[in-house]
C-alpha cells in the first residue's frame, strides 16, 4: 500500500506556516517549520514497511501542475494532509481536485482544526477519514493498518458509512513518546526546513514532549485540544540529538515542544548534555516560560548548550494575561529575562495584539514594552502576531458567547492574520496590524543595530545577521500590506 504524507500547494499572500506551529500566518519571506508530527507519521509508516512518500509542495514551492504530475506519477493509495483553520476550506477544494485525479485514493485530514470540528470536513469535502487527536502519527499508522490488514480502527477516527458519519469514539493520547522511532530525516527532506533566526547550520528541529506542562492559556489550540502532557525521557531526547550531531553534523536544534520540560527532567537533560560533551557540539533553542526562568537555573542551561529561549510575553497588561490564563506576573517579567541574559542566554519575545477587551493604550504599552526590552538588550528578538481564536480553544468559545467576532465564526479564510477576526473597540483592523508592524521597527533602532554589530565575533555571526535582515523586512511587509482580496 502506497501512502503519501503531504502538504499540497496553497494559494495565499506568502508561505503558510502549517505544522505544529500554533499561530498560522502567511510569511512573505519563506520560513518552513519542520512538521514534526507528520514527519513522525511518515517514519512510523515506513518502518512498518508501507511504501511511504513525503511531498511538501509548500517547502518545495511546487506549482499545481508539478504537484498534479507528481500525484499522477506515483498514484498513492492513501493521501494524508495536515490542515489548519485558515486553510481548511482550501484543503476541501484541494481534496475535490485530488479525488478527480485519483478517484480511488483514500483521503485523510488531520490536525487541530479537524480535531475541533471533525464532522464539518466530512460534510464539506470528499475526505474519507478525519484523524482527530494530537498523536496523528500513531493514529494514521493505526488507520493504515486497518485498511491493509483489517485491524481495528484506532479511536478518534471519523468516517462515512452508508451516507452517515460515524466515529470510533474519542481519541486517546496513550502513545508512549519513547516508543516512537527517531524521525527519518532523509525521507522527510529535513534540510528544507529552518527559520532564519538560528545561528549555526546545519539546523533542525526535535520535540522532547507534547506539548506543555502548563497547558492553560485560553488561545493555545494544541494544549486545549490535546490536554495530556507527555515527555520523552531525557536519555531518549539526548540519543536523538547524538544521532543528529553524529550522523548529520547538526550544529543547532530547536525543540518545538510547546514549552520545554522543566524541573528534574531539565536538570537530567542538562547533565546529559554536559557529560556527553554534546554541549560543545550543538546549541539548543526552545520555547520556554518566563516564570520557569525564575525557578530554573539558566546558568546550567547555558552550560548545557542552550542558546535561545522563545518566551511569550503576550501582553504588558496583567489584566490581559489573567484573562488569557497565562499564569505569569508582569511585575516579574523583566527579572526573569535578566536572569536568562546574565547566564548568556538569548531571548526571543512574542507578543499578541487585538484582544477584544484591549484598549489602544494597552496595545501601545505592549508594543512599547517589547521595543524597550529589545533596545535595552533584555531581549534579542521580538515577534508580534494578531490574536486569532482557533476553533476548539476556550478563547473561541468565549468569542462566540460574547459576540466578539467581527467576521462570521466560520469564515476561516480570514483567520490568517491578514485582518482581525475579533472586534477591537477603539482600534481598526489596520491599527492592529500597524502596531504589529511597529514592533519590527524596533530592529531598525540604532541602539539595537549597534549592539548586534558589537556582538559579531565570527564569519558565522556575520552570516546570521545577514540572514536576519530579510525576515525583519518581510515581517514589516507581512503586516504593512493590504489584506488580499477574497475569492468569490
Binding stretches for ligand SF4 (CB under 6 A):
212, 214-217, 220, 223, 258-259, 289, 312
Residue with cell 527532567: 265
CB of 35 within 8 A of CB of 130?
Answer: no
Residue placing its CB nearer to ligand SF4 in the complex, 227 or 470: 227
Phi, psi (degrees; rounded to nearest 5) at 388: -130, 120
Cα separation, 15 vs 60, whole angstroms: 11
Residue placing its CB nearer to ligand SF4 in the complex, 216 or 451: 216
Least CB distance from residue 289 to ligand SF4, whole Å? 5
Least CB distance from residue 419 to ligand SF4, whole Å? 22
Residue placing its CB nearer to ligand SF4 in the complex, 23 or 121: 23
Cα separation, 372 vs 145, whole angstroms: 54
Q: Which helix (H) or strand (E) holds 310?
A: strand 306-314
Least CB distance from residue 206 to ligand SF4, whole Å? 16
Residue 286 β-bridge partners:
255, 309
Least CB distance from residue 214 to ligand SF4, whole Å? 5
Does the N-terminal peptide bond of residue 438 adopt cis geometry, omega within 30 degrees of 0?
no
Residue placing its CB nearer to ligand SF4 in the complex, 220 or 349: 220
Least CB distance from residue 46 to ligand SF4, whole Å? 29
Least CB distance from residue 76 to ligand SF4, whole Å? 33
Residue placing its CB nearer to ligand SF4 in the complex, 138 or 229: 229
Residue 209 β-bridge partners:
231
Least CB distance from residue 318 to ligand SF4, whole Å? 16
Residues 6+ apart with CB under 8 A from 316: 330, 362, 365, 366, 368, 369
Beta strand pairing call for 203-206 and 164-167? unpaired
Residue placing its CB nearer to ligand SF4 in the complex, 216 or 281: 216
Q: How many CB atoms lie within 10 A of CB 428?
A: 11
Least CB distance from residue 165 to ligand SF4, whole Å? 30
Q: How many CB atoms lie within 10 A of CB 128?
A: 20
Least CB distance from residue 312 to ligand SF4, whole Å? 6
Residue placing its CB nearer to ligand SF4 in the complex, 160 or 216: 216
Residue placing its CB nearer to ligand SF4 in the complex, 21 or 189: 21
Residue placing its CB nearer to ligand SF4 in the complex, 121 or 223: 223
- DSSP assignments along 38-63, one per residue: HHHHHHHHHHTT-EEEEEETTTTT--
Write b or e for each residue in 433-470: b if 16 or more Cβ atoms lie within 10 A of its Cβ, otherwise e: bebbbbbbebbeeeebeeeeeeeeeeeeeeebeebbee
Nearest to 487 by CA among 388, 413, 390: 413
Amino acid at each position: 500500500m502506497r501512502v503519501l504524507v503531504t502538504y499540497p500547494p496553497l494559494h495565499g499572500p506568502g508561505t503558510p506556516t502549517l505544522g505544529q506551529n500554533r499561530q498560522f500566518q502567511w510569511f512573505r519571506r519563506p520560513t518552513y517549520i519542520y512538521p514534526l508530527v507528520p514527519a513522525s507519521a511518515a517514519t512510523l509508516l515506513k518502518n512498518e514497511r508501507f511504501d511511504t512518500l513525503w511531498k511538501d509542495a509548500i517547502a518545495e514551492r511546487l506549482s499545481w501542475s508539478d504537484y498534479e504530475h507528481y500525484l499522477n506519477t506515483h498514484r498513492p493509495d492513501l493521501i494524508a494532509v495536515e490542515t489548519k483553520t485558515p486553510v481548511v476550506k482550501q484543503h476541501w477544494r484541494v481534496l475535490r481536485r485530488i479525488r478527480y485525479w485519483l478517484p480511488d485514493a483514500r483521503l485523510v485530514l488531520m490536525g487541530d482544526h479537524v480535531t475541533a470540528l471533525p464532522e464539518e470536513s466530512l460534510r464539506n469535502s470528499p475526505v474519507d477519514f478525519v484523524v482527530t487527536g494530537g498523536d496523528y502519527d500513531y493514529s494514521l499508522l493505526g488507520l493504515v493498518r486497518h485498511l491493509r490488514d483489517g485491524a481495528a480502527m484506532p479511536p478518534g477516527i471519523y468516517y462515512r458509512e452508508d451516507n452517515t458519519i460515524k466515529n470510533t469514539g474519542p481519541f486517546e493520547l496513550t502513545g508512549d513518546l519513547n516508543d516512537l522511532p527517531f524521525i527519518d530525516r532523509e525521507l522527510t527532506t529535513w534540510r528544507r526546513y529552518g527559520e532564519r533566526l538560528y545561528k549555526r547550520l546545519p539546523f533542525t528541529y526535535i520535540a522532547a514532549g507534547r506539548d506543555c506542562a502548563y497547558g492553560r492559556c485560553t488561545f493555545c489550540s494544541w494544549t486545549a485540544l490535546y490536554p495530556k502532557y507527555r515527555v520523552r525521557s531525557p536519555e531518549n531526547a539526548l540519543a536523538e540529538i547524538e544521532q543528529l550531531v553524529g550522523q548529520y553534523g547538526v550544529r543547532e536544534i530547536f525543540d518545538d515542544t510547546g514549552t520545554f520540560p522543566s524541573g528534574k527532567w531539565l536538570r537530567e537533560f542538562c547533565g546529559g548534555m554536559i557529560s556527553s560533551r554534546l554541549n560543545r557540539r550543538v546549541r539548543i533553542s526552545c520555547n520556554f516560560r518566563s516564570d520557569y526562568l525564575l525557578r530554573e537555573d539558566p546558568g546550567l542551561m547555558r552550560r548545557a548548550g542552550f542558546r535561545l529561549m522563545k518566551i511569550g510575553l503576550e501582553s504588558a497588561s496583567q489584566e490581559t494575561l489573567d484573562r488569557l490564563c497565562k499564569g505569569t506576573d508582569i511585575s516579574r517579567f523583566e527579572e526573569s529575562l535578566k536572569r536568562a541574559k546574565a547566564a548568556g542566554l538569548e531571548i526571543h519575545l512574542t507578543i499578541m495584539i487585538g484582544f477584544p477587551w484591549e484598549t489602544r493604550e494597552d496595545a501601545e504599552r505592549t508594543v512599547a514594552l517589547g521595543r524597550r526590552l529589545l533596545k535595552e538588550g533584555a531581549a534579542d528578538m521580538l515577534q508580534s502576531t494578531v490574536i486569532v481564536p482557533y476553533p476548539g480553544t476556550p478563547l473561541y468559545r468565549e468569542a462566540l458567547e460574547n459576540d466578539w467576532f467581527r467576521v462570521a465564526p466560520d469564515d476561516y479564510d480570514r483567520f490568517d492574520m491578514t485582518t482581525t477576526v475579533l472586534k477591537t473597540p477603539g482600534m481598526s483592523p489596520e491599527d492592529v496590524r500597524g502596531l504589529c508592524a511597529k514592533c519590527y521597527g524596533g530592529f531598525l533602532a540604532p541602539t539595537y543595530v549597534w549592539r548586534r554589530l558589537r556582538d559579531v565575533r565570527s564569519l558565522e555571526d556575520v552570516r546570521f545577521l545577514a540572514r536576519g535582515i530579510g525576515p525583519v523586512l518581510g515581517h514589516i511587509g507581512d503586516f504593512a500590506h493590504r489584506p488580499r482580496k477574497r475569492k468569490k
